């Protein structure tokens, strides 16, 4: 008998090739699966809700694993934190869920935060954790442009060329731009996202923030349904997966 355990994971994406296990370097998934194997004594796959890219961080990634019945959720959490202590990976919460619950396929929503530091001086304490944007940004103009992207649209212009999703149609429930101290924060929420969708949107909104583009340029980009019509892909280090929602 096993227990299906959902864990909420926080990690610094800087040292990793991304969430997903790969042949070209260490991933967050590999760190957790190696720890789970040491805990349970056998192969123990860990399935995440989102496949964050290299350099992307998380404060609320969710994953599931099946642990032997003798390991309840608090014990799994404590053991995994002890076994991953050498890495910037932390299990924030753990809970037992129904056996058919799935971290990826049962999710009803995902939330991301993108942090931009618009100043000339580079960050010291937050190096690798924000996009250091040397030009100032007009947050009001960025927010006006962002409003045109909320709702259900064909986001072909904002997805990576290697995106494997069957359809470019997505419903963006939230896209909000605000000041947070000296940083600009972009909040995005949807049931699911296309590959690089948030980073491509942020890169485009930054063009609006510097005055190079207008909100109508963003509308035209959306309507073009062509990746080459949009702005650059914002760097990974400013992006955080902050939460995943479930119906249970």
Average pLDDT over the chain, rounded to an integer: 98
pTM of the predicted model, to two decimals? 0.97
Could you give the CA distance from residue 169 to residue 152 in angstroms, rounded to a whole number?
7
- Looking at residue 112, its pLDDT comes to 98
pLDDT of residue 153: 98
| CA dihedral sign of residues 32, 34, 35, 36 | positive
Share of the chain above pLDDT 70, in %: 100
> Residue 163 has what pLDDT?
94
- All structural domains of the chain, each given as residue ranges with its CATH number in brackets, are 2-97 (3.30.70.580), 109-245 (3.30.70.660)
Q: What is the mean pLDDT of residues 178-197?
A: 98
- Calculate what percentage of the chain has a pLDDT beyond 90: 100
At 236 the pLDDT is: 98
* Tens of pLDDT, residues 112-165: 999 999 999 999 999 999 999 999 999 999 999 999 999 999 999 999 989 999
pLDDT at res. 83 = 98
Q: What is the mean pLDDT of residues 31-47?
A: 97
Specify whether the CB–CB gap between 50 and 29 falls below 8 A.
no
Q: Among all residues, which ones are annotated catalytic?
A: 53
Q: What are phi and psi of 46, to 5 degrees?
A: -120, 115
Residue 22 has a pLDDT of 94
Locate 210 and state its tokens. 């510097």
pLDDT at 81: 98
Token pair belonging to 35: 């720890």
Kindly state the average pLDDT of the residues 204-227.
98
**pLDDT the model gives residue 49:** 98
Q: Are 6 and 97 in contact (CB under 8 A)?
A: yes
- Supply the DSSP string of 80-106, one letter for each residue: HHHHTTTTTEEEEEEEEE-TT--TTTT
Token pair belonging to 76: 């799994």
Please give the full DSSP string across the chain, using - where no structure is assigned.
Answer: -EEEEEEEEEE--TTSSBSS-BTTB--HHHHHHHHHHHHHSS----EES--PBTT-EEEEEEEEEEEETT--HHHHHHHHHHHTTTTTEEEEEEEEE-TT--TTTT--EEEEEEEEEESSSPPSTTTTTSEEE-S---HHHHHHHHHTT-EEEE-GGGS-TT---S--EEEEEEEEEEEETTEEEEEEEES---TTHHHHHHHHHHHHHTTSS-HHHHHHHHHHT-GGGS-PPPPGGGEEEEEEE---
| pLDDT of res. 211 | 98
Tell me the mean pLDDT in the region 70-87: 98
Residue 176: band (very low, low, confident or very high) from pLDDT cuts 50, 70, 90: very high
Task: Quote the pLDDT of residue 220.
Answer: 98
**Residue linked to tokens 């103009």:** 141
Q: If you average pLDDT over residues 180-185, what whole number do you get? A: 98
How does residue 214 score in pLDDT terms, banded at 50, 70 and 90?
very high
């Amino acid at each position: 008998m096993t227990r299906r355990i959902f864990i909420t994971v926080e990690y610094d994406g800087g040292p990793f090739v991304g969430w997903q296990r790969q042949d070209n370097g260490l991933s967050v998934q590999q760190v957790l699966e190696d720890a789970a194997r040491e805990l349970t004594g056998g192969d123990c796959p860990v399935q995440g809700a989102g496949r964050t890219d290299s350099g992307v961080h998380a404060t609320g990634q969710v994953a599931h694993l099946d642990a032997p019945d003798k390991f309840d959720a608090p014990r799994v959490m404590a053991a995994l934190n002890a076994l991953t202590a050498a890495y910037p990976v932390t299990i924030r919460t753990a809970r037992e869920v129904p056996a058919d619950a799935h971290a990826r396929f049962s999710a009803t929503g995902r939330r991301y935060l993108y942090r931009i530091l618009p100043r000339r001086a580079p960050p010291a304490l937050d190096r690798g954790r924000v996009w250091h944007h040397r030009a100032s940004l007009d947050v009001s103009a960025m927010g006006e442009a962002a409003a045109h992207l909320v709702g259900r649209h064909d986001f072909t212009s904002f997805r990576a060329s290697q995106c494997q999703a069957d359809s470019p149609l997505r419903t963006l429930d939230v896209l909000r731009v605000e000041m947070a101290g000296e940083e600009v924060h972009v909040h995005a929420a949807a049931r699911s996202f296309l590959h690089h969708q948030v980073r491509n949107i942020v890169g485009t909104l930054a063009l609006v923030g510097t005055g190079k583009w207008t909100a109508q340029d963003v509308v035209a980009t959306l309507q073009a349904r062509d990746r080459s019509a949009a702005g650059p892909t914002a760097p990974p280090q400013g992006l955080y997966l902050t939460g995943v929602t479930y119906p249970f």
